[in-house]
């Protein structure tokens, strides 16, 4: 991460790890706008963003399936809660199928954060954690709980058939659930997770498949499809353009 950008990350409390992947802060500390490329990573992001002296704006960003050009404006602060899919049903209690490759602007008082809490990353993390804990139900569908545990622990490498057999839920029902809730199939989502799991390997110079790809050609095709770039271009990451590579820890 260069000195123009500040990135901080906090892992979630154990009580919410099934629903939240991380809390993070990203700041453009310069007077210049920065062009960035956002890659599909399988997360749903609740974003609180402020540019300059403007008030914070709140946005819910759905799952992305292709690279997206964006501008990180000068003197911008972003506070983000990155959610796992189980949170959509049990925290937001809604479908986000309409937010595939899309975003929804939320009210400025969403979750009732004070300006003090939004100006302090630690306070933001603590308040957001408390809110999520209060929103969680007492009971969760055990099939869905196990399904998502397998999906994330395998980085999307298990087939739909394997997942179906392990959770005793038919492939057709699982895909119907995924399409209704998230706007894409389980296989498509697993491909995104497998792609994301390759980020560290690519950054380390391992531009050949480490995950369960058929061969190197298949790996390169998948990377190009989801990032618009070849693995070696991602690794070079000129001008910190691929923001997820710049913030890898």
Model confidence pLDDT, tens digit, residues 62-114: 999 999 998 999 999 999 999 999 999 999 999 999 999 999 999 989 999 99
Q: Grade residue 209 by pLDDT with cuts at 50, 70 and 90.
A: low
Q: What is the mean pLDDT of residues 198-222?
A: 74
pLDDT at 234 over 90: no
Residue 247, pLDDT score = 79
Residues sharing a CB contact under 8 Å with residue 167, sequence separation 6 or more, in sequence order: 143, 146, 147, 150, 174
pLDDT at 199 over 60: yes
**Contact status, residue 207 vs residue 235, Cβ threshold 8 Å:** yes
Residue 21, pLDDT score = 97
- pTM, two decimal places: 0.92
pLDDT tens string 135-184: 999 999 999 999 999 999 999 999 999 999 999 999 999 999 999 999 99
Can you say whether the dihedral through the CA atoms of 79, 38, 174, 147 is positive or negative?
negative
**C-alpha angle 72-73-78 in degrees, rounded to nearest 5:** 65
* 239 φ, ψ (degrees, to nearest 5): 60, 25
User: DSSP H helical segments within 90-141, as ranges?
Assistant: 115-118, 121-135
pLDDT tens string 237-249: 877 888 887 777 6
Tokens of residue 222, six digits: 């998948």
Task: Please state which CATH class domain 5-135 belongs to.
Answer: mainly beta
Calpha distance 203→236 (Å, rounded): 8
Residues sharing a CB contact under 8 Å with residue 163, sequence separation 6 or more, in sequence order: 147, 150, 151, 174, 186
Residue 211, pLDDT score = 55
pLDDT tens string 24-70: 999 998 899 988 889 999 999 999 999 878 889 999 999 999 999 98
Residue 51, pLDDT score = 86
Residue 15, pLDDT score = 96
Residue 229, pLDDT score = 86
CATH number of 142-246: 1.10.10.60
For the chain, the structural domain boundaries read 5-135, 142-246
**Contact status, residue 228 vs residue 67, Cβ threshold 8 Å:** yes
Calpha distance 86→142 (Å, rounded): 11
pLDDT at 220 over 90: no
């Amino acid at each position: 991460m260069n000195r123009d950008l500040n990135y901080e990350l906090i892992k979630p409390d154990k009580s919410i790890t099934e629903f939240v992947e991380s809390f993070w802060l990203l700041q453009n500390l310069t007077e210049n706008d920065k062009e960035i490329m956002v890659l599909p990573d399988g997360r749903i992001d609740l974003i609180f963003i402020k540019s300059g002296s403007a008030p914070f704006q709140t946005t819910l960003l759905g799952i992305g399936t292709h690279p997206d050009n964006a501008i990180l404006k000068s003197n911008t602060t972003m506070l983000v809660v990155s959610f796992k899919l189980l949170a959509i049903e049990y925290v937001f209690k809604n479908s986000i199928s309409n937010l595939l490759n899309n975003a929804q602007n939320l009210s400025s008082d969403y979750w009732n954060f004070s300006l003090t809490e939004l100006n302090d990353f630690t306070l933001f993390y603590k308040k957001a954690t408390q809110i999520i804990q209060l929103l969680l139900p007492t009971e969760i569908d055990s099939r869905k709980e196990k399904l998502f545990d397998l999906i994330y622990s395998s980085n999307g490498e298990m087939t739909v058939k394997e997942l179906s057999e392990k959770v005793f839920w038919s492939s057709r029902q699982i895909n119907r659930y995924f399409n209704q809730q998230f706007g894409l199939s389980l296989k498509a989502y697993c491909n995104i997770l497998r792609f994301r799991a390759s980020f560290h390997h690519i950054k380390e110079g391992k531009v050949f498949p480490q995950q369960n790809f058929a061969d190197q050609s298949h790996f390169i095709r998948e990377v190009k499809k989801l990032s618009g770039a070849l693995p070696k271009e991602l690794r070079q990451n000129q001008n910190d353009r691929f923001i997820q590579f710049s913030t890898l820890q």
